[in-house]
Amino acid sequence: MAVELYLDLLSQPCRSVLIFAKKNNIPHEVRNISLMDGEQYGDPFGKISLIRKVPALRDGDFTLTESPAILLYLAQKFQTPEHWYPADLQQRARIDEYLSWQHCAIRLHGSKVFWLKLMIPEVLHVEVPKEKMEAAVEELSGSLKLLEEKFLQDRPFIAGGHISLADLVAIVEVMQPVAAGLDVFGGRPKLNAWRDRVQAAIGKELFDEVHQNILGSQERVKVMDGSKLEFSKAKILNFFM
Ligand SMILES: N[C@@H](CCC(=O)N[C@@H](CS)C(=O)NCC(=O)O)C(=O)O
């Protein structure tokens, strides 16, 4: 039976889940939840997740939230190739370490740059003070430096010689500020070379397909109706500003 994946591809963790499912030929059906239309707050999605965030998974009468948990569930249930989550204790621990670290680091900082640089000024029409923007880029730089110096070091991928769940979760987050027009790869040859390896391991076609929507953000905001986000404007400003 196919698992149901509740996704919006503007969301980084949704992209990692979809890439993983597609790359590993996991039988799945996508249920689109439009965050911009507030569908995460509707009754149908409330039956899947009281957390009201995507991604979410339904497998029969079992539901699951949180992308690392979903990725691990899929990897174990469908016995995906070993390199995604190796049995070796220390390689596995390296992946767990990255998955635990990233929420409050690259994920938080990359999302913040995306909203401050693009969505808040262009869609919510709220001016972002220059110093706030600069501080957000600085925080992101700190996280990217840690990705390079602590998590990658001189390895091709985070857990060693092969792509793992950690690289997948990392690349989708790194792409978020890129979608807002920030050049995160310029001046970072190690990060750049890692991105190329991750893209090649995923397959460029799949990578581009899943990132097409988010990478069109700078064009899309020009025609977006900001009033559609009125329901969550206060929450967004409170969180990022
Ligand atoms: N820790 C969660 C984060 C999920 C999350 O924050 N999802 C965002 C999109 S990236 C969301 O659904 N936001 C909707 C909202 O907060 O209203 C995971 O890794 O899955």
Domain assignments of the chain as residue spans, ordered by start: 3-80, 89-240
Ranking 3-7, 29-33, 181-185, 230-234 by mean pLDDT, the lowest is: 230-234
Of 7, 20, 106, residue with least CA distance to 68: 20
Tens-place pLDDT, residues 31-72: 999 999 999 999 999 999 999 999 999 999 999 999 999 999
Ligand 1 binding pocket (C-beta < 6 A) is: 11-13, 35, 40, 53-55, 66-67, 103, 232
Q: Which atom of ligand 1 is nearest to the CA of 103?
A: 1
Residue 1: the pLDDT is 84
Ligand 1 centroid, distance to 9 Cα (angstroms) = 11
SS3 call for 63:
strand
CATH of 89-240, one of 2.160.10.10, 1.10.3430.10, 2.120.10.90, 1.20.1050.10: 1.20.1050.10
Is the per-residue pLDDT at 231 higher than 90?
no
The residues, ordered by sequence, that sit 6+ positions from 222 with a Cβ below 8 Å of its Cβ are 122
Query: Which residue's CA is minimally distant from atom 15 of ligand 1?
Result: 53
- For all residues of the chain together, what is the average pLDDT? 97
pLDDT, position 228: 86
Take atom 14 of ligand 1 and give the residue whose Cα is closest: 53
Q: How far does the centroid of ligand 1 lie from the alpha carbon of residue 149, in Å? A: 27
Where is pLDDT greater, at 81 or 228? 81
**pLDDT of 132 higher than 90:** yes
Let me know: does 214 contact 9? Beta carbons within 8 Å: yes
Is residue 163 within 8 Å of residue 202, measured between CB atoms?
Answer: yes
Q: What is the C-alpha separation between 224 and 183, in angstroms, rounded?
A: 24
% the chain with pLDDT above 70: 100
- Pocket probe for ligand 1: among 7, 11, 213, 238, the residue whose CB has the most ligand atoms within 8 Å is 11
Separation of CA 161 and ligand 1 centre (Å): 30
Q: Whose CA is nearest to atom 6 of ligand 1?
A: 53
Q: Element (H or E) spanning 45, and its range?
A: helix 43-46
Class of domain 3-80: alpha beta
Atom of ligand 1 nearest to the CA of 33: 12
Q: Concatenate the DSSP letters of all residues of 153-169 into one string.
A: TTSSBTTBSS--HHHHH
Assign 224 to helix, strand or coil. Answer: coil
pTM of this prediction exceeds 0.95 = yes
